[in-house]
């Protein structure tokens, strides 16, 4: 069984690498669990094999069709809901899955033939782990809460607008904002309107969606409720790549115009910047009123592989082995990666000054870290000052102490899980 799953993971990893280069998709993180390299453990981290009773069914949005809230291919959006219990019965944790963006008609047309663009292709059941786990040993602060995994199928971090659709027979639906609104109304109708505590979280493009909609989430919930947000591996940088090109800025500009996301972004940022720069967290996070926690690796492999050293900027393959495994980087490459880390810390400096802000920036070569037990909270999880990500987030959410943790530069942290793509 393990070998069968490993072969499947290898296929998905190869597809994801192609999708990033050709379509701009985020690597689909759930396929990569077997490829961790940890300085503090022997071998690869293993997936958690959960019994069928711990699998959570897919629910399609009931009123989505009438409201025009549709995935890229016109199918109904979906989510997985696990009811809370005990002291968590009136608390809600939402987690938006990641999956990159599509920036052209061609890439969105390809995307709609995958689970990132069509609910027809989504798994009907998924396991909840990490921040979504109901196991107190894996998720000590949020295990008993009502938990929702929001499936991502619009390709623009739930910010697309139907007025930007092309009426030329492509049959693409840019309805991310409508999906968000319909989803919120449905969850409010099934109990979230009585929430005492609520937490909107997300990974990668899903984390970007979480902060884009953070204040709106706050406004929809009871005034007396404690409401906060978390973005995991979502602090994407507007940095030049190794050839001096603004690859990510150009990509975001395409998404911005193709799916018409401006109306979903922060109005203050748009009045100041007036363009796709407001898709970069550094800009729009300045005006968020709701408390936000940033979980981000200083050596985010997705950003290094797609912003700092995209394939097109390394035609001779100088960075090939370094991109596959940070342990293979030469001193000059490590110095450039250190500079990228410095750019991240500089971009976070203003946010860091906010009293209610929280941060956990470790020096690991990884991407999302909150949804897996191995990186969220386990005996071998990454730590800063002896605290796991789960412990740090919990301390911040429940006001047990200020949490603004920044790791020392690579390779100082022996607890890191570092992705090793050479294993396949």
Question: Are 35 and 419 in contact, with CB atoms under 8 Å apart?
Answer: yes
The strand pairing partners of 185, in sequence order, are none
Cα–Cα distance measured from residue 284 to residue 159, given in angstroms and rounded to the nearest whole number: 14
3-state per-residue secondary structure call for 176-225? HHHHHHHHHHHHHHCCHHHCCEEEEEEECHHHHHHHHCHHHHHHHCCCCC
Q: Please compute, for residue 121, the number of CA atoms within 13 A of its CA located in the half-sphere on the CB side.
A: 14
pLDDT confidence of residue 49: 43
Tell me the pTM: 0.90
Q: Give 95-106 pLDDT, tens digit per residue.
A: 999 999 999 999
Q: Give 109-123 pLDDT, tens digit per residue.
A: 999 999 999 999 999
Catalytic residue among 80, 95, 367, 377: 367
pLDDT band at 335 (very low <50, low <70, confident <90, very high): very high
For residue 55, the SS3 value is strand
pLDDT confidence of residue 169: 63
Let me know if 54 is a catalytic residue.
no
Cα–Cα distance measured from residue 389 to residue 369, given in angstroms and rounded to the nearest whole number: 8
For 53, the token pair is 């009773």
Catalytic residue among 37, 238, 266, 300: 300
The burial of 216, by beta-carbon neighbours within 10 Å (0-12 exposed, 13-18 middle, 19 or more buried), is given as middle
Q: Mean pLDDT over all residues of the chain?
A: 88
Question: Are 201 and 210 in contact, with CB atoms under 8 Å apart?
Answer: yes
Q: Give 355-396 pLDDT, tens digit per residue.
A: 999 999 999 999 999 999 999 999 999 999 999 999 999 999
pLDDT confidence of residue 5: 31
Residues 6+ apart with CB under 8 A from 47: 5, 33, 34
Catalytic residue among 47, 75, 134, 204: 204
> Could you tell me the domains of the chain?
2-423 (3.40.50.1820)
Neighbours of 283 (CB within 10 A): 21
pLDDT confidence of residue 170: 72
Question: Are 45 and 38 in contact, with CB atoms under 8 Å apart?
Answer: yes
Question: Are 149 and 128 in contact, with CB atoms under 8 Å apart?
Answer: yes
- pLDDT, greater one: 7 or 305: 305
pLDDT confidence of residue 326: 97
pLDDT confidence of residue 87: 97
Let me know if 204 is a catalytic residue.
yes
- pLDDT, greater one: 299 or 4: 299
Q: Name the percent of the chain lying above pLDDT 70.
A: 87
Q: Whose CA is closest to 293, among 337, 227, 195, 239?
A: 227
Cα–Cα distance measured from residue 386 to residue 110, given in angstroms and rounded to the nearest whole number: 44
């Amino acid at each position: 069984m393990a070998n069968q799953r490993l072969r499947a993971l290898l296929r998905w990893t190869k597809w994801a690498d192609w999708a990033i280069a050709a379509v701009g998709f985020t690597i689909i993180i759930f396929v990569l669990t077997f490829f961790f390299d940890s300085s503090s453990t022997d071998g690869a981290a293993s997936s958690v094999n959960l019994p069928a009773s711990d699998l959570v069914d897919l629910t399609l949005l009931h009123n989505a069709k009438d409201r025009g809230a549709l995935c890229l291919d016109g199918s109904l959006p979906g989510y997985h809901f696990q009811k809370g219990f005990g002291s968590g019965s009136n608390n809600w944790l939402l987690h938006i899955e990641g999956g990159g963006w599509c920036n052209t008609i061609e890439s969105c047309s390809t995307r709609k033939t995958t689970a990132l663009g069509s609910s027809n292709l989504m798994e009907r059941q998924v396991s909840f782990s990490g921040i979504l786990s109901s196991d107190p040993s894996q998720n000590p602060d949020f295990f008993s809460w009502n938990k929702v995994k929001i499936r991502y199928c619009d390709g623009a971090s739930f910010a697309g607008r139907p007025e930007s659709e092309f009426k030329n027979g492509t049959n693409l639906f840019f309805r991310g904002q409508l999906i968000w609104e319909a989803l919120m109304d449905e969850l409010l109708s099934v109990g979230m309107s009585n929430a005492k505590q609520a937490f909107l979280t997300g990974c990668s493009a899903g984390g970007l969606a979480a902060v884009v909609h953070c204040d709106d989430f706050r406004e929809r919930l009871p005034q007396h409720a404690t409401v906060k947000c978390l973005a995991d591996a979502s602090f994407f940088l507007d940095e030049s790549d190794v050839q001096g090109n603004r690859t990510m800025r150009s990509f975001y500009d395409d998404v911005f115009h193709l799916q018409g996301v401006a109306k979903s972004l922060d109005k203050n940022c748009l009045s100041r910047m007036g363009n796709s720069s407001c898709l970069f967290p550094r800009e729009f996070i300045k005006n968020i009123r709701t408390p936000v926690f940033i979980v981000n690796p200083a050596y985010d492999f997705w950003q290094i592989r797609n912003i700092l050293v995209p394939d097109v900027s390394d035609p001779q393959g100088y960075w090939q082995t370094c991109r596959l495994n940070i342990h293979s980087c030469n001193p000059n490459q490590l110095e450039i990666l250190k500079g990228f880390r410095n750019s991240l810390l500089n971009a976070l400096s203003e946010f860091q000054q906010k009293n209610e802000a929280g941060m956990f920036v470790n020096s690991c070569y990884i991407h999302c870290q909150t949804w897996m037990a191995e990186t969220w909270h386990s005996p071998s999880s990454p730590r800063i000052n002896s605290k796991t990500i789960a412990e740090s987030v919990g301390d911040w959410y429940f006001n047990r102490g200020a949490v603004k943790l920044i790791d020392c530069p690579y390779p100082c942290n022996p607890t890191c899980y570092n992705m090793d793509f050479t294993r396949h």
